[in-house]
Amino acid sequence: MPGIYINTTELAIFFSVLLRLSVIFFMLPIFVTGGFPNNIKVLTILAMSLMLLPFIRESVQPLPLDPAPLTVVIAGEVIFAVIYSLAMAIIIAAFQLAGELVSFEMGFGFSQVADPQSGAEFSVISVWAQLVAMMIFFTMNGHQIVLKLIVESFKTVPVGSFTLDAALFTKVVLMSGLLFVLALKLAAPVMAVLILVQLGLGLMSKFAPQVNILATSWPITIGLGILFLGITSVVWADMAGRSFADLFHFLGNLSR
């Protein structure tokens, strides 16, 4: 009876591909959602690993099976995946933060809905802004670009060779600060209008105290907020496109 022969080298190469794909995809903000069951995620990563293995096999180093080098390789891959996912999460979180700022000024801070990505509760405008950012990402074929960069990283950054140096750490810190800058730029036009509205309502309550400002301010604030939010949505789309283009450039440099 013939025995079963297992090529440990080929198996170690497959584990290298599986390690990088699984760590990156389980950290990407678009893939990390309650809408994807864990078994579907696992089957998707396994299928992608088997599909990509024939094309990138020659450039993939076998995964070491000894505990000490295996721990070093896993640590490097986790850091690589964290930077990958953090770069994308910053842009999506910037839109989410901009929606929170606008919602607070509009008076929607008391109305919370479940975020389909994380399951946490956020304001209505915040979830809408996050979904807009994700739709723009898919419209730009961002999922294809990210997948292409991940595949190229097997050749340019072999599994287990990634290290976080001082220059890259500085870039990551500076990129993290862009979250607040981008969020303020997105929310600034609507916030400026709503602050002027609040100033006008304050003057009205001063010179016409008989007017019920509390009942009057809500429809005016919400109506003008939605109006100017729709007007500035074109600017949001343009800024999202440029932000994702910068993201792809950063990920491309990281993969190289």
- pLDDT, one tens digit per residue, over 11-34 is 788 888 888 888 888 887 777 665
Residue 231, pLDDT > 80, answer: yes
What is residue 119's predicted lDDT score, i.e. its pLDDT? 57
Reported as a pLDDT band with limits 50, 70 and 90, residue 117 is: low
What percent of the chain has a predicted confidence (pLDDT) above 70? 86
Strand partners, 123: 112
Residue 66, pLDDT > 70, answer: yes
* Residues with Cβ within 8 Å of residue 91, at least 6 apart in sequence: 133, 182, 240, 243, 244, 247
Average pLDDT for 211-234: 78
Strand partners, 112: 123
Q: Which of 33-37, 137-141, 153-157, 177-181 bottoms out in mean pLDDT, i.e. has the lowest?
A: 33-37
What is residue 187's predicted lDDT score, i.e. its pLDDT? 86
For tokens 């946490």, what's the residue? 120
Q: Which of 159, 175, 21 is nearest to 87 (CA)?
A: 175
More confident: 107 or 101: 101
Written as six digits, the tokens of 171 are 């870039």
Residue 48 near residue 134 (C-beta atoms within 8 A): no
What is residue 103's predicted lDDT score, i.e. its pLDDT? 81
Question: Is the full-model pTM beyond 0.85?
Answer: no
Residue 115, pLDDT > 60, answer: no
Residue 71 near residue 159 (C-beta atoms within 8 A): no
Residue 212, pLDDT > 80, answer: no
What is residue 113's predicted lDDT score, i.e. its pLDDT? 55
Residue 61, pLDDT > 50, answer: yes
What is residue 247's predicted lDDT score, i.e. its pLDDT? 83
Element (DSSP H or E) covering residue 255: helix 233-255
Residue 211, pLDDT > 70, answer: no
Residue 250, pLDDT > 60, answer: yes
Query: Which residue ranges make up each domain of the chain?
Result: 8-182+235-255
What is residue 1's predicted lDDT score, i.e. its pLDDT? 43
Residue 121, pLDDT > 70, answer: no
Q: What are phi and psi of 157, to 5 degrees?
A: -125, 85
Average pLDDT for 84-98: 85
Residue 38, pLDDT > 80, answer: no
What is residue 62's predicted lDDT score, i.e. its pLDDT? 79
Summary mean pLDDT of the chain: 79
